[in-house]
Amino acid sequence: MIVVTGAAGFIGSCLVKKLNDERFFEIVVVDDFSNANKAPNLEGKKFVQQVHRDGLTNWLKQNHRFVQFVFHIGARTDTTEMNKAIFDKLNLNYTKEVWQTCIEFGLPLVYASSAATYGAGECGYDDDHAIVEKLKPLNPYGDSKNDFDKWALKSKTAPYFWAGLKFFNVYGPNEYHKSRMASVIFHAYNQIRENGEVKLFRSHRPDYKDGEQMRDFVYVKDVVDICYFLLHHRRNSGLYNLGSGKARTFLDLVNNIFYALGKEPKVKFIDTPIDIRDKYQYFTEANMSKIRSIGYDQPFQTLEQGVHDYVKNYLVEGKYY
């Protein structure tokens, strides 16, 4: 069996779909299952059991001999949440518990880290273990992910194979439930549908023009392809960036949404809210050479390809992956 935590969420449910497509059906889905808006993410997918996240450790103790792999994708991902105790409980300490359980029963582990660990990018965006202690995340969410990465690297024992994936700006189907934390593409599409225009934050730095702030946007189908690769690879443990490797502007992003819809671009710039202005990232770009060096050779979808697929095949028709 394969265990997937956060399975009712965005990336987790897409991973379950990928596994099903590859003929893996003995999947145990783990989540809290209390958000009814997440339920459609798992409709039509094949799995053998649902386990509440609070019962995962006990379930693994009883069933570990049937488990071949653990994907710990679940996390509290709200970057606007400032209560450190919530992140300590759900991201840091819970992941420590999963890690220790995987060690105890000899289970390989892939867990979700985040590009939020890189903060404003003072140390660059290389998934080099040597810089982890120097990183300065911009919010408690990023702190919680970096705190676990630091703890894992210092740990005297580890699962026989483990990988912490630093997700960059992931977008794609099955994020309907994410509200404010959904991707810019999701929000921009809804703005176009409702108002015929998109609002973007204007630049508050002289070295960036309005709309030319840049992010590494990565399509969720590429993300789960790498997860699937690691399921079989099981060597070269460590932290790995998971982006497209190519930064693109927000204008590129929204223009591609307009093009996918056959509409002329119409963009309005608004001030970045004061409460996030000093924590706003103007540039992110994953160095993807490390995952390439261990044998992952599949091309990443371009922004144009990913946006077209997401908009035309999912958002327009309200479909799930």
Cα 216–chain centre separation: 12
The answer to whether residue 178 is catalytic is: yes
The residue annotated as part of the active site, out of 125, 141, 171, 321, is 141
The residue annotated as part of the active site, out of 96, 136, 150, 178, is 178
Which of 244, 248, 214, 242 shows the shortest CA–CA distance to 230? 242
Can you read off the two tokens belonging to residue 116? 């939020």
The answer to whether residue 145 is catalytic is: no
User: Is residue 157 within a helix (H) or strand (E), and if so which, with residue range?
Assistant: none
Sorted by sequence, the CB contacts under 8 Å of residue 13 that are 6+ apart come out as 7, 38, 41, 42, 45, 174, 320, 321
Sign for the CA dihedral angle at 15, 20, 21, 23 comes to positive
- Contact, 218 vs 268, CB < 8 A? no
Distance from C-alpha of 10 to C-alpha of 26, rounded to nearest angstrom:
20
Can you read off the two tokens belonging to residue 106? 């000899």
Residue 193: Cβ within 10 Å count: 11
In which residue are the tokens 């099903």 written?
Answer: 20
Residue 242: Cβ within 10 Å count: 27
- Contact, 105 vs 60, CB < 8 A? yes
Active site residues: 141, 178
